[in-house]
Amino acid sequence: MALCTVSDVESMIQIDYSSNLEADITNVFIPYVDSAISRFLGYNPEYDSSIVEKFDGKERTHLFLKVVPVVSITSVTEDDIALTSGNDKDYVAYLEEGFLVKTGKSRWSDARMQNIVVTYAAGYQTIPETIRFTSARAVARLVNSTLQLSSLQPKSEITSHKSDTTNNDGNFYSVQSESVGDLSLSYGEPMGTSLGPALSAFDVTTLMPFKRIFFE
């Protein structure tokens, strides 16, 4: 599941893309933006039913899980011992906030590195509109910039598309030409460089409420 769809992008930029370009948007542009959003947020917001994280206990009081919102805790082990959740048990899970706290005055063990393992389900089963809208807007901006289609009228149909993806590693994309009706556009040599910044300052501000901030 991606953070947005080709239809979201088309609605944003008001252009119906050809099937070839739609494939490029799905396989290159959307993953590029999704990766940038995940890096900024500090986690992948897509739902995952089986996330495994390992922690160094460090005698800390809180364990902050990487992905939110936390849906459920499957298991927690400390020094290979299974722990139970509850106020009168080993730890308390604060799912909405995304952290675990040892009960009483106890702290997480500092016996060895990576001695605590938490398995849990987290992420959004339905991507929030704000994240989906921001992803689609960023993809549309990159597509529009890369294809240099700013002069096209809304709802134009791109009828042909030629690209150079010989050096494509998932972060690069180069369009050589596009044809729209009687209009033919050529873009010279392939870029051979990254798509550039995926997120604008406005995108970052919009995503800020979803950013994961840890307190140790």
pTM (2 d.p.): 0.72
Q: Is 181 helix (H, G, I), strand (E, B) or coil?
A: coil
Q: Give the pLDDT band of residue 182 (cuts 50, 70, 90).
A: very low
In this structure, what are the phi and psi dihedrals at residue 62, rounded to the nearest 5 degrees? -120, 145
Instruction: Count CB atoms within 10 A of the CB of residue 144.
Output: 16
Mean pLDDT of the 178-206 span = 56
Phi/psi for 129 (5° steps) reads -55, -40
3-class state of residue 151 by DSSP? coil
Model confidence pLDDT, tens digit, residues 79-111: 999 999 998 899 999 999 999 999 988 899 988
Of 20 and 203, more confident = 203
Q: Could you tell me the pLDDT band of residue 175, with boundaries at 50, 70 and 90?
A: very low
